Every structure is written in C-alpha cells, then in structure tokens.
Copies of this chain bind each other. A is one copy, B any other.
C-alpha cells in the first residue's frame, strides 16, 4: 500500500486482490442501477470498444515510436485510462456471469503452456507456427 498526496492509503497491484477490484466495479454499477445495461452481450461490446480506443493510441505509430511513449507522461496517462476501461468492463463481465478471473487466467496459462512448449516456441511467434502447423 502507498500513501497518496492527501496522506490516504491507496491500494496498488501488490496488495489488491481481484475480488477487491471486482467489488469496487460492482458497487459503481449498483449505485447507478446500471444492471439492465450491463448484460453480458453489451459488456462484451464495451470491452471491444475500449480495446479499440487503446489501439487507437498506437494505430499509426512505427514499432519504435510505440516504445517512445514511455517518456511521454501525458500519453501514458491516456493509455492508463484506456487500459483501466478495458479492465473495468472485463471485471464487470466476470461479475455478470460469476466467473473467477484468477482461475480462468491460470487455467488458460496452463493450457497455453501445453500448446506452446518452451523448447519449440522460444523466440518464435505462436501465430505463425500454429498456422504453419495447421497446414502441414
């Protein structure tokens, strides 16, 4: 936990659990009675819309320029907000279907680890390999 300017303690990634963030997102929705808008279908659209807004930040950049963003405070703040929007809707989606995000992520990483063994994919893009593999 860290203290912000006003001396109040703030959670950060080191101590916030997924359940804690999901709770904050649920409270925000419930206080505005937005359940009827936050259907799984609408939330899947919302995640995609926010993902596009994040992508828009990188759309015309050469790969090298994308790294330079790290020095640009204003842009980094905008990028952080777009990422937050994605996470917020993703957690709201998880709330709506009662999905345990941690379990889903660890299961998927385990599945991917089998699909892309380290010895075969070290330094090689999963995509090209899997497509080639699929054609042979």
- CB within 8 Å of B: which residues of A? 10-19, 21-22, 24-25, 28, 31-34, 36-37, 39-42, 44-49, 51-63, 66-67, 69-70, 74, 76, 79-81, 83-88, 90, 93-94, 97-109, 111-113, 116, 118, 121-123, 125-128, 135
A31 and B120 alpha carbons, distance in the complex (Å)? 11
Instruction: Give the oligomeric copy count.
Output: 4
A10 and B103 alpha carbons, distance in the complex (Å)? 8
Distance (Å) between the CB of A75 and the closest chain B CB? 9
Say yes or no: B25 contacts A109, CB within 8 Å.
Answer: yes
Interface of A is mostly: helix
Distance (Å) between the CB of A132 and the closest chain B CB? 11
A-B contact pairs, 21 of them (CB 8 A): A12-B100, A24-B106, A31-B122, A34-B121, A34-B123, A34-B125, A37-B125, A39-B67, A40-B69, A40-B79, A42-B59, A48-B48, A48-B51, A48-B52, A51-B51, A60-B125, A76-B99, A79-B99, A80-B107, A81-B107, A84-B108
Contact (A41, B18) CB under 8 Å given A47-B54, A48-B48, A107-B84 = no
Say yes or no: A108 contacts B88, CB within 8 Å.
Answer: yes
A85 and B105 alpha carbons, distance in the complex (Å)? 7
A61 and B56 alpha carbons, distance in the complex (Å)? 18
